[in-house]
């Protein structure tokens, strides 16, 4: 799916959601979630291309596969936390959205610590 199609779907969804916001607010939220899920499936296709490109890079370079797996996890966590946070914000639950964003950031930080430690160890070996 192209960005043009995704943009049109997003704008149509937003306009439909606005129409229902005055009367039946729950329908507005359902439309928003439905459009978000539809766009989510369009993004999964792009993520598969990203994963394939990472596999090709791994074939060219001698890199521990755990680092690439960690990077893919970080991308997934980022997208899922932003997606969930956006839905909560649309529903009017700012506090929950902020907590989801914070949890996602801390999860990424904890995933990145072993990579950072390995990098620092490599730098230390070069210096000694």
- pLDDT one-digit tens code per residue, 28-44: 888 888 888 888 888 88
Say whether pLDDT at 15 is over 80. yes
Higher pLDDT, 10 or 109: 109
Cα–Cα distance measured from residue 20 to residue 106, given in angstroms and rounded to the nearest whole number: 36
The answer to whether residue 103 scores a pLDDT higher than 90 is yes
Write out the two tokens for 77: 């966590």
Contact 32, 17 (CB under 8 A): yes
Q: How far is CA 116 from CA 10, 69, 87, 92, in A?
A: 38, 15, 32, 37
Altogether, the residues listed in the chain come to a count of 128
pTM: 0.68
DSSP state of 92: T
| Nearest-angstrom CA–CA distance, 92 and 99 | 14
Average pLDDT, the chain: 85
Q: Is the pLDDT of residue 64 over 80?
A: no
């Amino acid at each position: 799916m192209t960005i043009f199609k995704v943009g049109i779907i997003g704008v149509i969804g937003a306009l439909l959601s606005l129409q229902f916001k005055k009367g039946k607010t729950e329908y507005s939220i359902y439309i928003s979630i439905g459009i978000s899920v539809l766009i989510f499936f369009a993004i999964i296709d792009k993520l598969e291309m990203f994963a394939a490109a990472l596999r090709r890079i791994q074939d060219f370079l001698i890199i521990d596969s755990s680092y690439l797996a960690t990077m893919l996890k970080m991308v997934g966590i980022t997208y899922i936390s932003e997606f969930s946070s956006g839905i909560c914000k649309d529903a009017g639950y700012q506090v929950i959205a902020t907590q989801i964003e914070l949890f996602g950031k801390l999860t990424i930080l904890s995933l990145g610590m072993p990579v950072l430690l390995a990098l620092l160890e490599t730098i230390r070996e070069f210096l000694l």
